[in-house]
Chain A
């Protein structure tokens, strides 16, 4: 009996379908992270500039995305935005849009913090050498800030990957949605299949997230040395 329950994972295309779902989760996270990190770096630099109104607007942006739950953001971009602006992109693009804006907001704060914690003597030395503002950021502040922001960035990446489990709410067939299809399809014959399916999904998320988390720990330890 136990044996046949495990078979639920491998009967037909079930395993391939779960992998397909995992791929959807992964590519959406990778693209949202890539877009969000680029935009977030720009916003983070802008937030270190002295202009008060600019800082205020960017602060509002950050707080908005930090406070509004991700599920609400997804609903906004998938159900409300198309209705008011007549955009009809596939669900996955809308998800990337929502996630990238969220990542950008969170990352802008990480970048701002990192740039501000580069010792002020570095900045002054750079200016004394006659570097322009752009050169100062490019050669002095950003390279040192990257070191400081890496652990927090990896942490953000693992959070994004985990949050993709909300994608099923906007009709995207991610790994959780496929898992539920399989569970419900077998609920009559194998009520305990739910443990095996969620167990497998747990292991898959773990395989993706744990190396990232280890890496961030290693980097943090390096920094403290």
Chain B
């Protein structure tokens, strides 16, 4: 009985000690990511010495993490440059497509640089600065039967991914037969199996895919209206918005985005694409 009691006591104390140790090391590691207050004005950022940027961590080549744990990509290079020009360090918070706006509104980040496409709905909940990139719908076709012009598509079958801008565009336009798929994998397999004359999707995906499948070509690079990718700040944060607008203008004039394109996007997109297909001037 006595031995049992001792055993139980040891068990209880070891649980307590483990919990205390875990708490100590856990909280110590969490101190690095304290959020740093709710003021995101340029003055506050400079005073804090840290620019908090919300980025993607799983979307190469725009925002991703390499095998050494370093954040990389087109958006990341811009983020670091902006922090440098502010004279502060950049600190990153990883977000996904759904919580970009919430992250801004709850002051977890000063600015979002996460492949954020400007749309009228989003303009109501966040303030977008000058765009730094454009995307639009592109069309791929086999190299031996290329489609280089929208008129060639008339009455032909076109593969699209459900819920994309490409689907919307062709549904509104009419005049083509649409073959719709749920996933990227399915739609690309369908074009390989010659189920249609062409496939339409966001051109940035197509460039990367064509690079791995050289028997196809992005015959039409831009179709329909361009969509713009821009930095976003919390609604009403005029000081950071103004600063970002000036910064994007300055960087565009300096050719920063062409360099950024060549370093981060070109390895993924290949030679067929020119910086001017993506970068704004």
Contact = CB atoms under 8 A, between A and B. Distances in A.
Contacts, number: 105
A37 to B, nearest CB: 10
B67 A14 contact: yes
Given A89-B35, A91-B33, A171-B103, A12 B66 contact: yes
B58 A184 contact: yes
Nearest to B56: A184
Contacts of A31: 19, 22-23, 26
Task: Name the interface size band of chain B.
Answer: 35 or more
Given A34-B23, A184-B58, A88 B65 contact: no
Given A13-B68, A30-B19, A181-B57, A171 B108 contact: yes
Q: What secondary structure prevails in chain B residues at the interface with A?
A: mixed
Nearest to B65: A181
Interface string B51-82: 00000011110001111110000000000000
A187 B205 CA distance: 13
Interface residues of A, number: 39
A75 B106 CA distance: 11
Interface stretch (A61-69, A79-87, A199-207): A79-87
Interface string B21-32: 011011101110
Contacts of A90: 30-31, 33-35
Interface of B: 18-19, 22-23, 25-27, 29-31, 33-38, 57-60, 64-69, 93-96, 99, 102-103, 105-108, 208, 212, 268
For the complex of A and B, the 8 pairs showing the least CB-CB separation, nearest first, are A12-B67, A27-B26, A184-B58, A181-B65, A92-B30, A79-B106, A88-B35, A79-B102
